[in-house]
């Protein structure tokens, strides 16, 4: 009963606190909107929004509570003259109530001098929606008054995908489950990438919420979401920030520069042909003239509002026109009546290898057809399969020529190129040099076949303990490897690799050699001496330690650090971080036994 009275008092006296959290534009430079978040009194049981709204629902006061929340949000937003749009949370239950006052929000806006096009009605689904027809009517009413609609927690609600298709909102907000740790989870990246692709097709824009780390920010920026929200940018606050922080702007600038640096490095946008598109209203005879003037063009894209809607293929057009009365039938008709709506589109940043896979998955009679290259869903250019095949062949030849023949890992040339690119884009990274100790005497004792097994095992170990999207694993040659880490938890990766190597190296030795703790063999001077079990010495240096101008400068500095690492017994990690050389890991005596 106490809670009942307290809730009614909160609603009656409008004791609602409004916090605002900014929604950042995908370019990371400006604030696009603010989401209004409502809380009860700070010293109240209902300070928690979950308790507040659950109790209101239990008491059938949800409509009244949301009305107060909406009023307070609009009042505070306009009083502070916050820039951009205002996202207002509304539950489906409120929209579907019989006594729902449809003009309430519009009246509030008029009172505070806010326009409907500045407001986004964000539908937050926490219970099943059954009456889709009524929901659609309510949403259409708001859209008719000039409001935009956002669907919250996409992928987490009871029927969010159906709601998306039924309501056709202007914005969809991806549930934070799919954002958390997306930089380390391929499934989450694929899910979000699919959502972005669907959104492009249905003219929705994607907001990723719950971003808490730079890595999540970078991953989502690469995928191409439209807007970003989360603690990484700003926490909800009654008086929110009005500008994006300098650090966020700098991170985005690094991402942008990295994209520019890598835009020609294996991405399909490199192959685009600048073939001007036509509109659906263009006459067929005009397209015929285009083909006659450009004999090397096999297709012409049809674009409406910047978005590809079809293609006109030279061979099929000529086939239609060559039939009896073909020219008379089609010449004066718009291309919308003959365009091919079955065409392949790829984003300009997609890797050529991925596009090649998509091409080969098409029906055999469409294998050689052109494809459309887009940028954020908008027409960018035409790609031809013959150009793709030539480039894939060149890339494979270059990779083969510069990769280690045993492990298949990138060799010295590719390692240096990768480091130089990171330096040019001012990216943060750590270069780790892995040197296999006591390998030569083992190789001499057990033979080259066993030695090759060791080298292959180390290469697999390093790939296992590194991030496949962020980190670069290379094989300098012999028993030397390099891993270029952009993962922030690189020390964990290295330590895990060294600890695992301590375990499985024992399987490569005979029981006698294990019992002795090593083998007797000739050193480089032909003298017999004892060599302990194989271990790995790791020398590391971060990009902040000095103003490195090239990969060669880093390699020179690493050689000095490597000497320090090899002084330690067993597996070791010595690193130069922020200019200081420190021993980060040394193998215990127990592991050496």
User: What pLDDT, in 10s, does the model give residues 207-236?
Assistant: 999 999 988 988 888 788 989 999 999 999
Q: What is the DSSP code string of 392-443?
A: HHHHHHHHHHTB-TTT--B-HHHHHHHHHHHHHTT---EEEEEEEETHHHHH
d(CA 6, CA 47): 12
The region of weakest confidence among 126-135, 312-321, 325-334, 337-346 is 126-135
Pairing verdict, β 572-577 and 535-542: parallel
The class that CATH gives domain 2-261 is alpha beta
Contact 89, 36 (CB under 8 A): yes
User: Of 180, 172, 168, 177, which is closest to residue 206 (Cα–Cα)?
Assistant: 172
Of 69, 174, 77, 67, which is closest to residue 118 (Cα–Cα)?
Answer: 77
CATH number of 403-592: 3.30.70.270
Q: How confident is the model over 250-271, as pLDDT tens digits? A: 777 766 665 554 445 578 888 8
How far is it, in rounded angstroms, from Cα 277 to Cα 491?
51
Rounded CA gap, 237 and 235, in Å? 6
Q: What is the mean pLDDT of residues 491-508?
A: 91
Give the CATH H-level superfamily of domain 268-391. CBS-domain (3.10.580.10)
What's the average model confidence in pLDDT over 75-98?
A: 84
Phi, psi values for residue 409, rounded to 5°: -75, 155
Q: What is the pLDDT of residue 67?
A: 86
Spans of all domains in the chain? 2-261, 268-391, 403-592
Please report the DSSP string for 177-226 in residue order.
Answer: GGTTTGGG-HHHHHHHHHHHHHHHHTT-EEEE----SHHHHHHHHHHT-S
Q: Which residues contact 341 (CB under 8 A, 6 or more apart)?
A: 309, 310
Considering only residues 561 and 133, tell me which one the structure prediction assigns the higher pLDDT.
561
Region label for 568, one of left (φ > 0), alpha (ψ between -120 and 50) or beta (otherwise)? beta
- pLDDT of residue 201 exceeding 90, the answer is no
Which residues, including other chains, have CB under 8 Å from residue 215's CB and lie 6 or more apart?
183, 184, 470, 488
Provide the 8-state DSSP code for 474. E
Q: How many CB atoms lie within 10 A of CB 239?
A: 10
- Enumerate residues 6+ apart whose C-beta is below 8 A from 418: 410, 472, 474, 484
Residue 504 pLDDT > 70: yes
**Token digits of residue 541:** 């240096």
Is 589 a residue whose pLDDT tops 50? Answer: no
Q: What percent of the chain has pLDDT over 70?
A: 91
Record the pTM.
0.47
Q: State yes or no: pLDDT of 420 exceeds 50.
A: yes
pLDDT in tens, 178-200: 999 998 887 888 888 888 888 87
Q: How far apart are alpha carbons 514 and 564 in whole angstroms? A: 27
Report pLDDT digits (tens) over 277-295. Answer: 999 999 999 999 999 999 8
Going by their DSSP bridges, the two strands 205-208 and 430-437 should be labelled as unpaired
Q: What local confidence, expressed as pLDDT, does residue 499 receive?
A: 92
**DSSP character string of 90-154:** E-HHHHH-TT--TTHHHHHHHHHT--GGGEEEEE---S----HHHHHHHHHHHHHTT-EEEEEEE
- 592 pLDDT above the threshold of 50: no
pLDDT in tens, 115-152: 998 999 998 765 555 666 777 877 888 888 888 999 88
pLDDT, one tens digit per residue, over 14-40 is 888 899 999 998 766 789 999 999 888
Count other C-beta atoms under 10 Å from residue 363's C-beta: 8
What pLDDT, on the 0 to 100 scale, is given for residue 398? 65
CA distance 461 to 481: 11
Question: For 431-480, what is each residue's pLDDT tens digit?
Answer: 999 999 999 999 889 998 899 999 999 999 999 999 988 899 999 888 99
Residue 262 has a pLDDT of 46
Q: How many CB atoms lie within 10 A of CB 232?
A: 20
Determine the pLDDT at residue 360.
85
Q: What is the pLDDT of residue 125?
A: 63
Q: Report the distance separating Cα 294 and Cα 290, nearest Å.
A: 6
Check residue 399 and give its pLDDT.
Answer: 63
Asked if the model's pLDDT at residue 48 lies above 80, the reply is no
Q: CA 347 from chain center: how many Å?
A: 14
Task: Determine contact, residues 173/122, Cβ cutoff 8 Å.
Answer: yes
pLDDT for the residue numbered 263: 45
CA–CA separation, 555 and 418 (whole Å): 13
CA–CA separation, 18 and 49 (whole Å):
11
For residues 240 and 236, what is the distance between their CA atoms, to the nearest angstrom?
7
Tens digit of each residue's pLDDT (9 = 90 or more) over 363-396: 887 878 899 999 888 999 999 998 888 888 877 7
What mean pLDDT comes out for the span 536-560?
Answer: 86
């Amino acid at each position: 009963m106490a809670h009942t009275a307290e809730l009614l008092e909160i609603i009656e006296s409008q004791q609602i606190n409004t916090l605002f959290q900014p929604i950042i534009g995908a370019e990371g430079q400006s604030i696009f909107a603010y989401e209004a978040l409502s809380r009860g009194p700070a010293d109240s049981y209902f300070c928690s929004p979950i308790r507040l709204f659950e109790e209101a629902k239990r008491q059938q006061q949800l409509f009244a509570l949301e009305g107060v929340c909406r009023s307070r949000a609009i009042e505070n937003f306009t009083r502070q003259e916050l820039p951009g749009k205002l996202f207002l949370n509304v539950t489906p239950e409120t929209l579907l109530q019989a006594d729902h006052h449809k003009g309430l929000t519009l009246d509030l806006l008029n009172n505070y001098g806010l326009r409907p096009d500045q407001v986004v009605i964000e539908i937050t689904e926490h219970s099943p929606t059954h009456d889709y027809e009524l929901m659609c009517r309510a949403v259409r009413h708001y859209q008719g008054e000039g409001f935009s609609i956002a669907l919250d927690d996409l992928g987490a609600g009871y029927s969010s995908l159906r709601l998306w298709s039924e309501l056709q909102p202007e914005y969809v907000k991806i549930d934070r489950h799919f954002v958390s740790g997306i930089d380390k989870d391929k499934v989450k990246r694929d899910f979000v990438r699919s959502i972005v692709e669907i959104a492009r097709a249905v003219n929705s824009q994607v907001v990723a919420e719950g971003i808490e780390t730079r890595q999540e920010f970078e991953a989502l920026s690469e995928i191409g979401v439209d807007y970003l929200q989360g603690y990484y940018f700003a926490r909800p606050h009654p008086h929110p920030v009005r500008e994006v922080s300098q650090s966020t702007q700098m991170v985005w600038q690094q991402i942008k520069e990295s994209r520019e640096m890598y835009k020609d490095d294996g991405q399909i946008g490199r192959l685009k042909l600048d073939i001007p598109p036509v509109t659906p209203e263009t006459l067929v005879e005009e397209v015929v003239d285009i083909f006659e003037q450009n004999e090397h063009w096999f297709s012409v894209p049809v674009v409406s509002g910047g978005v590809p809607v079809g293609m006109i293929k030279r061979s099929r057009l000529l086939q239609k026109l060559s039939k009896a009365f073909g020219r008379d039938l089609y010449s004066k008709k718009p291309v919308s009546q003959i365009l091919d709506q079955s065409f392949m589109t790829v984003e300009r940043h997609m890797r050529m290898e991925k596009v090649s896979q998509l091409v080969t998955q098409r029906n055999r009679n469409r294998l050689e057809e052109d494809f459309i290259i887009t940028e954020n869903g908008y027409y960018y250019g035409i790609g031809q399969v013959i150009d793709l095949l030539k480039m894939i062949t060149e890339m494979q030849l270059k990779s083969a020529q510069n990769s280690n023949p045993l492990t298949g890992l990138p060799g010295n040339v590719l390692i240096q190129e990768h480091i130089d690119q990171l330096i040019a884009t001012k990216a943060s990274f750590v270069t780790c040099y892995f040197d296999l100790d006591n390998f030569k005497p083992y190789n001499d004792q057990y033979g080259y076949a066993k030695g090759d097994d060791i080298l292959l095992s180390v290469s697999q170990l390093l790939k296992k303990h590194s991030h496949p999207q962020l980190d670069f694993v290379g094989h300098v040659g012999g028993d030397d490897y390099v891993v270029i880490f952009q993962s922030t938890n690189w020390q964990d990766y290295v330590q895990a690799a060294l600890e695992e190597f301590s375990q499985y190296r024992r399987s490569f030795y005979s029981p006698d050699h294990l019992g002795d703790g090593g083998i007797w063999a000739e050193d480089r001077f032909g003298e017999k001496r004892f060599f302990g079990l194989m271990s790995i010495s790791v020398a590391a240096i971060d990009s902040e330690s000095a103003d490195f101008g090239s990969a060669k400068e880093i390699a020179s500095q690493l050689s000095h650090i490597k000497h320090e690492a090899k002084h330690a017994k067993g597996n070791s990690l010595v690193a130069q971080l922020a200019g200081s050389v420190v021993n980060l890991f040394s193998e215990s005596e127990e592991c050496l036994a």
